[in-house]
Amino acid sequence: MFLRNLITTSTENCSEQINRLKNEIENTDAIVIGAGAGMSAAAGFSYSGERFEKYFSDFHKKYGFSDMYSGGFYPYETLEEYWAYWSRYIYINRYMNARKPVYEKLLSLVKDKDYFVLTTNVDHCFQKAGFDKQRLFYTQGDYGLFQCSEPCCAETFDNEEIIKSMVTAQGYTIDPDGTLVPPEMPKMMVPSGLVPHCPHCVRPMTMNLRADHTFVEDEGWHIAAGRYEDFLRRHKGMRILFLEVGVGANTPVIIKYPFWKMTDQNPKAIYACINLGEAYAPDEIRKKAICINGDIGEILSQL
């Protein structure tokens, strides 16, 4: 019902939209934040360009791909090379801090409100910025967790120490602030002894990322899902702000479509979308929508 007529702007200018959103944040009963990849991109987590070249120039030279996503799907011949690539990927996108304080800006806006965060991001930026862990639901997994590749069990395993061992085994050093420093000629293999295997069935481990039916929804995942459902139930019919930030069109069924539907069904709800070039809403909720096209960090600063 929602895709026939989309609005990207309103008769109001950007400044007026920002003022509307300020008012909603201040006066709403609760805020549900839905965050996608655009949020982390605004914080400096780019997957191509200078950042890719800094940490993956050797893989680019050998295989030709020019962004981290492409490298993640490459069929490496050995697990030692596979984990050389993925350990760097995980470290810089999970254990290094974002270059720009975009998440911190968002926290400053909602920290005194009754909020909950639903996100498809797997980089842990919300928790590192200080958001309450009990108010976070990472639907698509976490770069900081391993799972069995089959899987044989509904468990996940923290990977920080082994990831650090993998990157340092390639010649990288880790600064006191957590920054990964490349060597002049990094190794493109990790020692066989560092290749992770499931402690139960000894099959190779993989990342806890939702890609297919093998994704493990562990106990923590289900607890977070229950908290999110409970938050929505407790605030049903109340004045609630559905604040969508940096969500694209790749997986709209997780955040975007449900936010539209819940806004449409609740007379007191407001839907707000902040995105660079992709801020839009269906015509059905036009009067209840605040769409702000622009750099997410700059918009949050103005708020």
In this prediction, residue 112 carries a pLDDT of 95
Is the predicted pLDDT of residue 5 greater than 80, yes or no? no
In this prediction, residue 8 carries a pLDDT of 52
Span 70-92, pLDDT tens digits: 999 999 999 999 999 999 999 99
Residue percentage of the chain with pLDDT more than 90: 92
- Is residue 250 assigned to a domain? yes
Cα–Cα distance between 271 and 113 in angstroms, integer? 17
Which of 10-24, 40-54, 184-198, 225-239 comes out lowest in average pLDDT? Answer: 10-24
Pair (170, 192) in one structural domain = yes
Q: What CATH number is given to the structural domain containing 248?
A: 3.40.50.1220
Pair (58, 150) in one structural domain = yes
- Is residue 272 assigned to a domain? yes
Pair (37, 115) in one structural domain = yes
Mean pLDDT of 123-145: 97
- Is residue 1 assigned to a domain? no
- Please indicate whether residue 299 or residue 2 has the higher confidence score (pLDDT): 299
In this prediction, residue 90 carries a pLDDT of 98
- Which pLDDT band holds residue 251 (cuts at 50, 70, 90)? confident
- Please indicate whether residue 64 or residue 3 has the higher confidence score (pLDDT): 64
Is the predicted pLDDT of residue 24 greater than 70, yes or no? yes
Mean pLDDT of 227-239: 97
Is the predicted pLDDT of residue 9 greater than 80, yes or no? no
Pair (94, 196) in one structural domain = yes
In this prediction, residue 11 carries a pLDDT of 36
Is the predicted pLDDT of residue 276 greater than 70, yes or no? yes
In this prediction, residue 10 carries a pLDDT of 42
Range of the domain at 15: 6-42+100-141+218-302
Pair (83, 19) in one structural domain = no
- Is residue 273 assigned to a domain? yes
164 to 54, 139, 175, 204, 221: CA distances (angstroms): 18, 25, 12, 18, 25
Pair (204, 292) in one structural domain = no
Domain count, the chain: 2
In this prediction, residue 277 carries a pLDDT of 87
Mean pLDDT of 277-303: 93
- Is residue 13 assigned to a domain? yes
Pair (264, 137) in one structural domain = yes
